[in-house]
Amino acid sequence: MQRNSSAYLNDILEAASAIQDATAGIDESTYSATRLIRSSVEREFIIIGEALKVIAQRDPQLFAAIPEGRQIIDFRNLLAHEYLKVSDRVVLGAIQTDLPVLVQLATS
C-alpha cells in the first residue's frame, strides 16, 4: 500500500525532532568535534529531503506550499553525494533558521 503525504510529513517532523534532540545545548565547536552527532543530524536531513522529494512527485500542490522545498532537496543531495563540501556552519544554520520554519509548515 502506498503511503500518503501525511505519512511523509510525519517522517519530516520525526527527523526534525531527532535533529533538535541531538543538537540541544551544544555549540558549534562541540558539533564539529562530535562525528556521531554530525552523522545523525546529516542522516535526519537526508530523510527530510527524501520525504520532500516524494511529496514533490506525489502531491505537487502540497510541495508548492513549502517555500524552500527545492533547496531542502538540494541540501539532501549535497549531504548524500558531496559530503566533502558539507560545512558544519551551514548545517547548524539550517538547524537554527530553516528547521523551525519547516516544522511549522509541516504541522499546519
pTM score? 0.92
Q: How many CB atoms lie within 10 A of CB 29?
A: 9
Q: Give the mean pLDDT per block of 10 residues along the chain (108 residues).
A: 88 96 94 95 96 95 91 93 90 91 86
pLDDT at res. 32: 94
pLDDT at res. 18: 97
Q: Kindly list the distances between the CA atom of residue 74 and the CA atoms of 19, 71, 77, 98, in Å, as whole numbers in the listed order.
A: 18, 5, 5, 14
pLDDT at res. 2: 81
- Domain ranges within the chain, ordered by starting residue: 5-107
Are 76 and 50 contacting, i.e. CB atoms less than 8 angstroms apart?
A: yes
pLDDT at res. 95: 94
